[in-house]
């Protein structure tokens, strides 16, 4: 498969995963009583509505170009979309409503991973009637989509605000502990970037992203493969 085909499969898989992740937050919030995302025009499956210039374009683009030019393949990717606005006090049950809104994003990614696993059977059934290059691209796209959705879901479930896992943790902890965790939100992105990029370069053998992939995302991916009949 050419590098153009590989990049197109990765890009499309990432766009779908991120767009539906963000849209799920907005739809969950609306269902639970908050129409802030709808009024902001974020209840949309249009990827452009969810683009963050730095997190969606510049950072992933630099990582993609650097890896393709140096090692000829993509081994790691990182980025983020523009957060969907949610007014917690407009939710019918602010505490548990926010937990459900936060969980909706990873939830849709797990569902998408399973759906792509089912779709793989359809591609295989049509293989004899499709050009070989098309079949190869579709199977590669399905495999990448399953991986991207699982990794995105597992990463977002890390218990660090403003990641979804952090907001879920704030919702289920007792008030004093919840306030302490919530206070990390302003520095949350810096904490995440430090864990992924800074500390691994300073501490030999420290690779939290690799640990997450090997010990969380890949076991989940194997389980989804089994559940989708692969």
Q: Which two tokens stand for residue 108?
A: 């849709």
DSSP 131: -
Residue 109's contacts (CB-CB under 8 Å, 6 or more residues apart) are 17, 20, 21, 149, 150, 152, 153, 156
DSSP 52: -
The four Cα atoms 163, 6, 211, 217 give a dihedral, to 10 degrees, of: 70
pLDDT number for residue 60: 77
DSSP code per residue over 173-228: S-HHHHHHHHTTHHHHHHHHHIIIIIHHHHSTT--HHHHHIIIIIHHHHHHHHHHT
Please confirm, yes or no, whether 22 is among the known catalytic residues. Answer: yes
| Residue whose tokens read 């359809």 | 122
Q: Which two tokens stand for residue 155?
A: 């990463």
pLDDT number for residue 153: 96
- pLDDT class of 11 with cuts at 50, 70, 90: confident
Closest CA to 50 of 11, 27, 28, 20: 20
Catalytic position from the list 6, 22, 38, 136? 22
CA-CA-CA-CA torsion sign (190, 191, 195, 199): positive
What's the pTM? Answer: 0.89
- pLDDT class of 44 with cuts at 50, 70, 90: confident
- Using only C-alpha atoms, the chain has a radius of gyration, in whole angstroms, of 19
Tens-place pLDDT, residues 113-149: 999 999 999 999 998 899 999 999 999 999 999 999 9
Tens-place pLDDT, residues 81-119: 888 999 999 999 999 999 999 999 999 999 999 999 999
DSSP code per residue over 69-120: HHTSS-------PPPPP--GGGSSSHHHHHHHHHHHHHHHHHHHHHHHHHHH
Residue 83's contacts (CB-CB under 8 Å, 6 or more residues apart) are 22, 162
CA-to-CA distance for 29 and 189, rounded, in angstroms?
A: 23
Tens-place pLDDT, residues 158-202: 999 889 999 999 999 998 999 999 998 888 888 887 887 788 778
pLDDT number for residue 197: 74
pLDDT number for residue 75: 62
pLDDT number for residue 74: 64
- pLDDT class of 23 with cuts at 50, 70, 90: very high
pLDDT number for residue 109: 97
CA-to-CA distance for 228 and 121, rounded, in angstroms?
A: 9
Q: Which two tokens stand for residue 138?
A: 């579709």
- pLDDT class of 77 with cuts at 50, 70, 90: low
The percentage of residues in the chain with a pLDDT greater than 90, rounded to a whole number, is 57
Higher pLDDT, 110 or 67: 110
Higher pLDDT, 4 or 152: 152
Task: Compute the average pLDDT of residues 12-22.
Answer: 91
pLDDT number for residue 165: 96
As to burial, measured by CB atoms within 10 angstroms (0-12 exposed, 13-18 middle, 19+ buried), residue 62 is exposed
pLDDT number for residue 80: 77
């Amino acid at each position: 498969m050419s590098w153009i085909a590989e990049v197109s499969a990765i890009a499309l898989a990432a766009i779908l995963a991120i767009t539906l992740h963000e849209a799920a937050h907005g739809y969950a919030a609306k269902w639970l009583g908050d129409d802030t995302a709808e009024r902001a025009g974020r209840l949309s499956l249009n990827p452009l509505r969810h683009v963050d210039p730095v997190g969606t374009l510049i950072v992933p683009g630099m990582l993609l170009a650097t890896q393709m030019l140096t090692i000829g393949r993509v081994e790691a990717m990182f980025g983020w979309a523009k957060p969907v606005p949610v007014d917690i006090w407009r939710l019918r049950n602010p505490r548990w409503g926010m937990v459900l809104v936060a969980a909706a994003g990873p939830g849709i990614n797990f569902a998408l991973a399973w759906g792509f696993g089912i779709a793989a059977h359809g591609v295989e059934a049509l293989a004899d009637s499709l050009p070989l290059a098309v079949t190869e691209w579709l199977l590669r796209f399905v495999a990448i989509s399953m991986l991207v959705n699982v990794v995105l879901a597992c990463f977002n479930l890390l218990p660090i605000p403003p990641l979804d896992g952090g907001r879920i943790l704030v919702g289920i902890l007792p008030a004093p502990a919840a306030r302490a965790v919530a206070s990390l939100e302003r520095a949350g992105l810096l904490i995440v970037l430090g864990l992924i990029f800074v500390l691994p370069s300073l501490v030999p053998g420290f690779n939290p992203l690799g640990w997450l992939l090997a010990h969380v995302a890949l076991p989940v991916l194997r389980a989804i493969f089994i559940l989708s009949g692969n």
